[in-house]
Amino acid sequence: QLGYGLQPDLTLDLVYNPSGPSLPPDQCRLEADYRRELQLRHGVVFSHLLTIANMPIGRFRVDLRRQNREMTYRALLRDAFNPGTLKGLMCRSQISVGWDGALYDCDFNLALGLAISAGGRVTHANVQRLLARPIVTGEHCFGCTAGSGSSCRGALVA
């Protein structure tokens, strides 16, 4: 058999995020459910299913405010803080680069205009300063640490 999701070098990953202000379900269980149902109903095979949480920024934040649910969602994220997710946070091992070369601790900080504490641009980056920098955080950061955690690789803990 040939095709994406069928061969190791042709990966097909699905990404799931809730349609509203809730945390994603357990990634392993959801992957098993999707794998079974997509195969049975449509003959679709995939490599992995990744779950991500909605960040209370941008259009989602506007929608939360319109529904008067922003504070409730922020409280949900804060109350679901999981210290086990901290080690795997992307901001601890990666940086984001803006179109102008400005550096950010993560894509969400980039979207919010929260530049990296070590300052500078990619052309003037000092690796030692970057490694020693404090990470710029905000209340939106609870989106990556709530429940099983959230990253571009899906859940951070099982």
pLDDT single digits (tens) 40-80: 999 999 999 999 999 999 999 999 999 999 999 999 999 99
112 — pLDDT class (breaks 50, 70, 90): very high
What is the helix (H) or strand (E) element at residue 97, kind and residue range? strand 96-97
pTM for this predicted structure:
0.88
Two tokens, residue 55 = 């960040």
**Averaged over 144-155, what is the pLDDT?**
96
DSSP state of 14: E
CA 110-113-117 angle, 5° bins: 85
- Tell me, what's the pLDDT at 125? 77
Pairing mode, if any, of strands 96-97 and 103-104? antiparallel
What share of the chain in percent tops pLDDT 70? 99
The predicted structure's pLDDT at residue 8: 81
Q: What is the pLDDT of residues 9-26, one digit of tens each?
A: 899 999 999 999 999 999
Angle at 9 between CA 3 and CA 13, to 5 degrees: 70
Total number of residues shown for the chain: 158
What are the boundaries of each domain within the chain?
13-145
- Of residues 60 and 1, the one with the higher pLDDT is 60
Are 106 and 90 in contact, with CB atoms under 8 Å apart?
Answer: yes
